[in-house]
Chains A and B, each alone.
Chain A
């Protein structure tokens, strides 16, 4: 319980900062479509307007994806703030996405 509280305190501050993310998808591939939907839902619910999302279709921009070190799709990269992090998959597990973004599901609700 004590741990939870500390985390809550830490998470309070970044709410106002803007989270910059980049989602790499592969055209209309099912998991890519799901990932876009899942991420948009998470953003609406937890980040309100405090985020900036770029969606890159690797089928159209493969060289960009290569340069960014993308291997599998869908793949979400958190650019800022703080340490960069990556999530792969269709982002169906909201908890792990939030954790990777430095947010916590419990406090946001």
Chain B
């Protein structure tokens, strides 16, 4: 019946809680003027959740609220939330009203009771205050006194009717033991409310891990599943999935500090992207990260270098040995180094400190080395949650980040079962050792790079005092060659090249010589030919001259002999005969000059 009344309230609207991440998960916050149930084991943050929503409403929308405390005293609540900077005592003087609804331990119970008296009191207070919110914190404490499931159900119904009639956005918190579905009455309570949020805190190894899950949201869509939950200086924060936080994707490229690597990545890393560098110990993850930090500083960009379990000075000294010099940038203030100890500080505190540094230093580039250190205690899902939040935070600030992660095995896929950062990182570079020929050499592979055509070739990372560099690797007979073997191969290759070159020049010279020889011979023959031709020409002219002169000689002879006209009278016969005679005479003449002179 009351459900109908709820429906009559009109379409579902939502009120933001101001809890980072939760408003994204719930697509807008809690249902307005309806009841939400927050349940979880002890110490899961139920009270913080409720208080934060209340404080947010009071501060952001000047909406007064009532907090009914069944479990903790008001002073305790103030003390416990003092770290969040909400200034509850000040708010309690104006917008917020705290009702200490704990029953004194000396109270004797005799028979059944009901909530109607308390609700009458709260109604009066609501009118005085103009409250829009109400929190019943730890209602299980009160319900337990009823000692009767039927009575509990009756009082829950009473509460629900009262809330429905009073246009209050309500949060009821209730304790459950363990992660079981809880006592049966909460099942009923879950049915009664419009939104159910489950908080969970469990120990993984020795480190507490917190989770938030929306298990029900009547009339609304929400992000399903458990999400990491933690506390920082402002209160509770939920690591909402990436899709819930829209960021403008930059197309600007930022150098990794290695020209070769930049070109392998199609020009560098995208501004604001996060890059993961994985590798076994000693694979030069820090060197790569250091090179990135140095090049960022050289561009004049503010940079933050976060290291775990190794001091900033040691890192700088070690990097100097491979030609990466950070000291000057630290002095100039461009580079800020923060180093945290994971054995004494819990991961959430690191997160809070890093968040403070981000606000303070306002870096454009950032290194976290190695992020895997925060998961060292073995609480993987906690480390995962912190890691994820850190990456989201960095991304929110549009910082280009290089994050290293130590993996014990040389198989990069093993990483995916660990911190699960690869799924969030935009670029994933894996460093590995290749042992061959009695050497360990460092190989660099780009496993993924979002939005980028990247090289799928393996490169060798060569370290020297002049600075790190990338070299091509040789693959020979299906094996990748590095280090000395690469050098040998390179030397061999270049010797072979020299030899080939020499052979070629030799052959060329030989051929050129042969060609020249032929040309020379052709020239000599030509000379010979010309000479022959000239001789022939000379001879021909000589012969003709002689022939002509012999004709003239005959005619002269004939004229001198005064030959009769007979020869002239019969010119045809004469000519014919003469021709024959002349031919003979020519023959004779041929011999005659030889004989004559």
Query: Which residues of A line the B interface, CB within 8 A?
Result: 24-27, 29-32, 34-35, 38, 58-59, 62-63, 65-66, 69-75, 85-94, 96-97, 99-100
Contacts and interface: CB of A to CB of B under 8 A. Distances in A.
Nearest to B100: A69
Q: Is the interface of B mostly helix, strand, loop or mixed?
A: mixed
B117 interface: yes
A99 B106 CA distance: 12
Given A25-B117, A59-B117, A71 B106 contact: no
List 4 tightest A-B contacts by C-beta distance, closest first: A73-B117, A62-B124, A92-B111, A89-B111
A97 B111 CA distance: 10
Contacts of A70: 117-118, 121
Given A85-B106, A88-B109, A31 B120 contact: no
Contact of B108 (A58, A69, A90, A99): A99
A35 B114 CA distance: 11
Given A85-B108, A89-B109, A100-B108, A66 B124 contact: yes
8 contacts: A58-B117, A66-B124, A66-B125, A70-B121, A73-B117, A75-B113, A86-B108, A93-B111
Contacts of A97: 108, 110
A89 B113 contact: yes
Given A62-B125, A66-B99, 20 more contacts: A24-B117, A26-B116, A26-B120, A29-B116, A31-B112, A58-B120, A58-B121, A62-B124, A71-B102, A73-B118, A86-B103, A86-B108, A87-B108, A88-B103, A89-B113, A90-B110, A90-B111, A91-B111, A96-B108, A97-B110
A1 to B, nearest CB: 25
A72 B111 contact: no
Contacts of A26: 114, 116-117, 120
A96 B116 contact: no
Most chain B CB within a 10 A radius of its CB, from A25, A27, A66, A70: A66
Contacts of B113: 31, 72-75, 88-90
B230 to A, nearest CB: 34
Contacts of A69: 100
A51 to B, nearest CB: 17
A77 to B, nearest CB: 10
Nearest to A66: B121
Given A62-B123, A62-B124, A72 B110 contact: no
Given A26-B114, A31-B112, A87-B108, A71 B101 contact: yes
A34 B113 CA distance: 10
Interface residues of B, number: 26
Interface string B121-132: 101110000000
A61 to B, nearest CB: 9
A66 to B, nearest CB: 5
A74 B110 CA distance: 10
Most chain A CB within a 10 A radius of its CB, from B101, B121, B145: B121
B142 interface: yes
Contacts of A89: 109-113
B206 interface: no
Contacts of A99: 108
A89 B146 CA distance: 9
Contact of A90 (B103, B107, B112): B112
B243 interface: no
B281 to A, nearest CB: 60
A88 B445 CA distance: 72
Contact of B107 (A35, A38, A73, A87): A87
B111 A34 contact: yes
Contacts of A72: 103, 113-115, 117-118, 142, 145
Nearest to A73: B117
Contacts of A87: 107-110
Contacts of B111: 31, 34-35, 38, 89-93
